[in-house]
């Protein structure tokens, strides 16, 4: 029996070595969902930082059309990145209030979506002044949501 | 029996009305993973658009630090957003080659990560010329991956 166990162990070492790189399968682990949503927030902050620079410099806002569209796309998926089971892990700053007040969280998402959607045509029209005003409104929806549903850094 | 069925139907209407809004639970549906990764790509394009504008205008790149960091965060999660089961749906432009050549896809991810990581200190140093050169390198990693693994629009 021992001999077979040893042979088996050797065989599994070789089979591990032979494993081809392949896509993960099965559900996304909760921890990975948290890492993905943190990346989304980082990107949103990146877009917002670039927008703030353009607004401060009163420069063209037409190059911010893709950024505005990205904010809209991400506003649409935000709540879906906080399913039950992702309350803790990977140093998440999500407050328990997200899950205890889901309706309020959805309302905050709707506010962000509505505000970002208005940003797109202003960027397309290169309306720097209008964009600046609406960008401030978008910022208030970020801040409003973070105040209620995100722990302080 | 019919009376009970009618009463049952009425009861279920009321119980649906009384359901509290609550977080989805269970694994993220494949279709939702696709929508999330499309939002991530939209945001990356938004960041890249703002970077291109700054590079073209030879303006300060310091405000692009958060954008560069967002690209890094998102580069780290890209492959995780293409698990088995998300090959089709929601008009995905993902090519089957992602899953048949997973090792190559991971290599493309590693290239993007390495290139974006170099962007951060250049933005922090407000090195507009250095940033411009490295931004071109980042763009080649986007294009390289899209050429192999993304269908034409």
Candidates A23, A69, A80: best to mutate against B (most CBs of B within 10 A) is A23
Helices (H), chain B: 2-18, 30-56, 65-77, 97-100, 102-124, 128-149
Flag whether pLDDT at A149 surpasses 60. Answer: yes
Mark yes or no for CB contact A85/B25 under 8 Å: yes
Q: What average pLDDT does the structure give for chain A?
A: 91
Q: Tell me, what's the pLDDT at B4?
A: 60
Candidates B19, B30, B49, B83: best to mutate against A (most CBs of A within 10 A) is B49
What is the value of pTM for the model shown? 0.88
| Cβ within 8 Å of residue A25, ≥6 positions away | B83, B84, B85
Mark yes or no for CB contact B59/A63 under 8 Å: no
Instruction: Indicate if ipTM > 0.85.
Output: yes
Q: What is the pLDDT of residues A50-107, one digit of tens each?
A: 999 999 999 999 999 999 999 999 999 999 999 999 999 999 999 999 999 999 999 9
Which residue among B24, B47, B106 sits closest to A47, beta carbon to beta carbon? B47
Contacts of B52 in chain A (CB under 8 A): 63
Positive or negative, the Cα torsion across A36, A42, A43, A44?
Answer: positive
């Amino acid at each position: 029996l021992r001999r077979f166990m040893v042979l088996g162990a050797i065989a599994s070492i070789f089979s591990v070595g032979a494993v081809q790189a392949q896509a993960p399968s099965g559900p996304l682990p909760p921890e990975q969902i948290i890492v993905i949503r943190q990346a989304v927030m980082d990107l949103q902050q990146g877009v917002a930082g670039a927008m703030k620079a353009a607004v401060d410099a009163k420069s063209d806002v037409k190059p911010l059309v893709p950024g505005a569209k990205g904010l809209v796309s991400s506003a649409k998926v935000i709540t879906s990145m906080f399913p039950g089971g992702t309350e803790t892990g990977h140093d998440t700053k999500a407050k328990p209030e997200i899950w205890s007040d889901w309706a309020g969280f959805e309302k905050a998402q709707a506010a962000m979506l509505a505000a970002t959607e208005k940003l797109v045509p202003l960027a397309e029209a290169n309306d720097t002044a209008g964009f600046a005003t609406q960008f401030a409104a978008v910022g208030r929806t970020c801040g409003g949501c973070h105040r209620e549903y995100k722990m302080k850094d």
